[in-house]
Amino acid sequence: MMEKIVLHDKTFKPFIPYAKLEAAIDSVARRINADYEGSKDIPILLCILNGSVMFTAELMKRLNFDLQLVSMKLSSYSGTQSSGVIKQVMGLTSPVNGRRVIIVEDIVDTGNTIVELKRILEEQGASDVKICTMLLKPEVYDKPVKLDYVGMEIPNAFIVGFGLDYDELGRNYKDIYVIDQ
């Protein structure tokens, strides 16, 4: 893990090492495998672009049932703040009608994106929607939507790395860094 990284005009310091992320992914994968073991249907793993690409890839390697990978892109961030407005940048890459869907998110904070995603999937006819997130900020999550699989809880701080970005930079770091105030 690097001491500090600089992205645009901000400095970030080490926060969560990759080894800890791997342990959390192993735990989430065990729970999902237990729930989907012996599935007769083929569930959809819905990768929410761009942030959850790394988490989805790591998670998929650990799942031991057949699945279909589908992607979708939503946006609500500008700089370090959520705008509160969810924009659908790219729709579903495959139909979900009558299918079980596991949403794979990098992080859940306010929950606005999760609420919108669940609404879209139900509107599109998904038979069941489960939510899986690598990271959860419990002090700001106040939505009634149940999170089925959570890798780890973190404080409400701005982070980058492991798919998370600051104005499109920082996604490629395997560790997670927190803004250095």
Active site members: 109
39: number of Cβ within 10 Å: 12
Tokens 């982070």 locate to 159
103: number of Cβ within 10 Å: 26
- Can you give the three-state secondary structure of 78-117, one letter per residue? ECCEEEEEEEEEECCCCCCCCCEEEEEEEEECCCHHHHHH
- Contact indicator for 114, 153 with CB cutoff of 8 Å: no
Tokens 């790219």 locate to 90
* Residue among 72, 63, 122 nearest 98 (CA): 122
